[in-house]
Amino acid sequence: MSDTPIKRNTVEITVKDVSERGPAPVRKDADAKTLVASTAAAGTQLHPGKVRTRLHIYILETGSEPLGHGTEVEIRGSVKTYGTVPSDNAIIIDLPEQKNFKSENNGLGKLIWWKDFYSFFVPTDFQAYIYEEGGAGTTKKILSRAVHFAEGPDKWQWGFWTWYDDSPQDPNFKAYVAWGAEDAPNP
């Protein structure tokens, strides 16, 4: 499996006319100055306003539950965000075992978690991880992906991406994480 995200061509993007947008909001605290300096040093392209980072996690297919454990798989995990929007978001959902969700969400599967994160200047860095919770020795990693926007400013900013992963212990567990970075809409 390659470490390159799969870029989907089925997403419709609307380009805003920025000539009507007013000046970008300015943070007056010391953290904003530190963020600007550290971001510029890391090579990340600064954005002159509020940024929305959208994260979605999909289950494409579920595998088997260990013998004697029932007919539902327990999907668990977290999405951790860093930088100006630190948070730790738990993922807890039970799904039927051996179920295929390929017909949902344009082939990405069943949406099990989503959230928008708002920041100034740069998108929100994140790490997404989900697994199937089993008994002793039967827990199966399904998806693991981290994105640090400063590592590839031309590669990651202003678009929509997906990352496919499956479990090395049971390849029937399949999932996607999808993310995008864009101008945040005005309230």
Kindly report, residue by residue over 42-94, the tens digit of the pLDDT: 444 556 678 889 999 999 999 988 776 778 999 999 999 987 888 999 999 99
User: With 50 as the cut, is the pLDDT of residue 41 above it?
Assistant: no
pLDDT of residue 64: 85
CATH of domain 18-183: 2.60.40.150
pLDDT of residue 43: 47
Sorted by sequence, the CB contacts under 8 Å of residue 134 that are 6+ apart come out as: 65, 66, 69, 74, 140
24-33, 85-94, 118-127, range with the lowest pLDDT = 24-33
Cα separation, 22 vs 48, in Å, equals 11
Q: Could you tell me which residue, 136 or 9, shows the higher pLDDT?
A: 136
Q: Could you tell me which residue, 33 or 91, shows the higher pLDDT?
A: 91
Band the pLDDT of 187: cuts 50, 70, 90: low
Q: What percent of the chain has pLDDT over 90?
A: 41
| Main-chain dihedrals φ then ψ at residue 75, nearest 5 degrees | -90, 125
CA diameter of the chain: 62
The one-letter amino acid at 17: D
pLDDT of residue 71: 87
pLDDT of residue 35: 43
Tell me the CA distances in angstroms from 123 to 109, 143, 172, 173, one per residue in order: 25, 21, 32, 29
Cβ neighbours of 106 (radius 10 Å): 11
User: With 70 as the cut, is the pLDDT of residue 10 above it?
Assistant: no
Cα separation, 109 vs 100, in Å, equals 8
Per residue in 89-114, pLDDT (tens digit) is 999 999 999 999 999 998 889 999 99
pLDDT of residue 47: 60
Sorted by sequence, the CB contacts under 8 Å of residue 168 that are 6+ apart come out as: 141
Cα separation, 158 vs 180, in Å, equals 7
In 3D space, the residue among 159, 160, 158, 164 whose CA is nearest the CA of residue 177 turns out to be 164
Average per-residue pLDDT for the chain = 77
Tell me the CA distances in angstroms from 62 to 40, 74, 84, one per residue in order: 42, 10, 35
Q: What is the dihedral of CA 151, 154, 159, 162, to 10 degrees?
A: -50
Strand order from edge to edge, sheet including 110-120: 110-120, 50-61, 174-183, 159-166
Buried b (16+ CB within 10 A) or exposed e, 6-40: eeeeeeeeeeeeeeeeeeeeeeeeeeeeebeeebe
pLDDT of residue 65: 80
pLDDT of residue 21: 37
